Structure 1
Amino acid sequence: MSYLILIILGFIAGTVGSLIGLGGGIIIVPAMLYLSTMTSFFHDVTPQTAIGTSLLVIIFTGLSSTLAYMKYKTVDYKSGLIFFIGSGPGSIIGAYLSKLFNAHTFSVWFGLFMILISITLMLKAKAKPVNKVHKGIIRTYEDESGELYTYSYRIFTGIAIAFFVGLLGGLFGIGGGSLMVPAMMLLFLFPPKVAVATSMLIIFLSSVTGSVSHIAEGHVNWLYALCLVPGAWFGGKMGAWVNKRVRTKTIVLFMRVVLILIGCELIYQGIFS
C-alpha cells in the first residue's frame, strides 16, 4: 500500500508540475514529510532525504515534460541553455546548503517559501507584463492561431535570476519553476506556454546537477525514488498534454489555496511540534 501511495504521489506531482511549470517538488517534499509523521514505513524521511529524493524524481518529470513539449514546439532551447548557465551552479550550491537544516527549521522555512510561491502565482495572474524596449537576446514565437510574440532578455539578467532560482531549487528540492515561470512571463515577456515548456527544460537540467550533489551527500532514498519515478514520468506527459488543451487558471487558483494551507501547517509543525 505504501508503494502505491508513492506511485500515485509521483503521478500527481508530475502532472501538476508539468502543467504549470513547477516541476513537482512542491508537492513531493511536503507530502513525504507529512507521511513520515503518519506511518512507520516513512520513519526515516528527513528534510534532506525528501529534498534529495524529490530532485532525483524531478529529473524524470522534467525530461518527460520536455520531450512532450518538444512535440508541440514550445521549448525555447537557446534561452533554456542560457538560463541553465545560472541555474546549474545555483542548484549545486543549494544542495550543499540544504544539509544545514534540521527538521523544525526546514518546516518553518519551507512553509514560508510555499506561501511566497502562492503569492507569486497570485501576482502572476493579476500583474501585466512590463512595457519594454526589446534589447539583448530577442526571440519570437508564433502560436497555433498565427499570433506572433516577441520577447527578449539581457544575458546577465537572465543568468542571475536563473542562479537564484536554481539555488532555491537545490535548497528545497522543488525544481524552481514556481519562480522562473513568472519571471520569464512578466520581465522578459515570454508567452505563457513557452515559459512553462522552457522552464521544464531548465528544471530537468538543474535537477541533474542538484541531484548529483545530493547523491554525493547521501540524501537520496533509492527505494522511494524507484516508486515515485514511474508516476512522475507519466504525470509529466499528462501535464504537458493537458496544458496544450485547457486553460490552467482554475488549477493555479487551487494550487495557491493548497500551498497556503500546507505552508501554514508546516510552519505550525516547525514551531510547536
Structure 2
Amino acid sequence: MEWFLLVLLGLVAAMFGSIVGLGGGIIIVPVLMLLGSVLTGDTIGHAEAVGISLTVLVVTALASTMSYAKRNIVDFRSGGLFFITSGPAAVLGSALTGLLPAGVFQLLFGVFMLLMASLLIARDYMKPFTKKWPIVRTVKDASGQVHTYSYGIIPALAIGFGVGLISGLFGIGGGSLFVPLMVLLFRFPAHMATATSMFVIFLSSILGSGMHAVLGDTNWLLVLALVPGAWIGGKLGAAIAVRMSGKGLLWLLRVTLLLLAGQLIVEGLRSFW
C-alpha cells in the first residue's frame, strides 16, 4: 500500500506540475514532510524531502519537455539563457537547505506556498507588461501558429537566478514564479512559457539534485518509488495542458497549495513554542 501511495503521489504531483509549469515538487516536498511516517513508517526531514523531490523532478521535467518539444512549443534558445544563472543558483540553494532548522524551513516554505497560491489566483487578473524588450523572438509551433515576444538579457538572467535559488532551496521546479513572470513581463504565450519553464527546470534540477546527492540528502529507494508515477504524470500533464485550459485543475491546485501552506506554517510556528 505504501508503494502504491508513493507512485500515486508522483503521478498526481507531476501531472499538476506539468499542466501549470510547476514541476510537481511544490506538492511532493510538503507531502513527504507532513505524511512521511504514513508513507514510509518513519519521518522524513526537510533536506531529505528536498533531495528526493529534485531528483524525481529530473524525470518529471524530462517527460514534460519531450512531450512539449514534439509540439514545437519549447523555446530552447531562451531556456538556455535562463539556465545560465538558474543552474548555479540551484546548486547554491541546494547547499543552503540543510543549514536551515526544520521549523524555519517549514515556516518559510509555507509562506512561499501561500504567496504562490495567491499569485496563481492573481495572475488571471493581471495584464501583461507592454514594454518591447531588445531581444525579439518569433517562433512557429507545430500547428503553424506564429508567436512573437521579447525580453531583456539582464532581467532574464535575474529571474533565472531567483528561480534557480528557490528551486534548489525548496526542491521545487520554480515554475510557479517562472511562468507568470515570462507571461506578464515578456509576453510569452502561456503554453510556451509553461513548456520552456519545464525545460529550464529539467536542466536546473539535474544540478540541484546532484548537490543534494553529494550532501547525502537523497533517499534512492523513495526516488525509485516516485519515479514511475512521475514519468507518467509528466507526460499526462503535458498532454492535458495543450488540449484544455486546465482552469478546473488549476483551482484545485490553488486550494491544495493553500491547505498545505497553512499546515506547514502551523507546524513551523509550533517549533518556536
Residue identity (%):
47
Deviation at 1:247, TM superposition (A): 0.9
CA distance in 1, matches of 2:190, 2:57: 21
Matched residue type, 1:267: I
Q: Alignment length, in residue pairs?
A: 271
- Describe how 1:2-151 pairs up with structure 2 within 5 A: 2-38=2-38, 41-133=40-132, 135-142=133-140, 147-151=145-149
1:204-240 deviation per Cα after TM superposition (whole angstroms, max 9, x unaligned): 0000000111001000000000000111011100001
Matched residue type, 1:182: P
CA distance in 1, matches of 2:211, 2:143: 43
Give yes or no for contact 1:93–1:170 (8 Å, CA) kept in 2.
Answer: yes
Matched residue type, 2:13: A
Structure 1 portions without partners, runs of 5+ = none
Deviation at 1:146, TM superposition (A): 5.6
Structure 2 portions without partners, runs of 5+ = none
Matched residue type, 1:231: G
RMSD: 1.4
Deviation at 1:37, TM superposition (A): 4.5
1:247 equivalent among 240, 245, 248: 245
Matched residue type, 1:10: G
- Describe how 1:165-244 pairs up with structure 2 within 5 A: 165-244=163-242
CA distance in 2, matches of 1:98, 1:212: 13
CA distance in 2, matches of 1:202, 1:94: 16
Matched residue type, 1:27: I
CA distance in 2, matches of 1:142, 1:68: 16
Matched residue type, 1:119: S
Give yes or no for contact 1:62–1:204 (8 Å, CA) kept in 2.
Answer: yes
Moved over 6 A (4+): none
Deviation at 1:38, TM superposition (A): 3.8
Provide TM-score, normalisation by structure 2. 0.95
1:234-262 deviation per Cα after TM superposition (whole angstroms, max 9, x unaligned): 11000011011111222222211211111
Is the alpha carbon distance of 1:37 and 1:101 closer, same or farther for their aligned partners in structure 2, counting shifts above 3 Å?
A: farther
CA distance in 2, matches of 1:10, 1:64: 13
Aligned to 1:262: 260
Give yes or no for contact 2:37–2:44 (8 Å, CA) kept in 1.
Answer: no
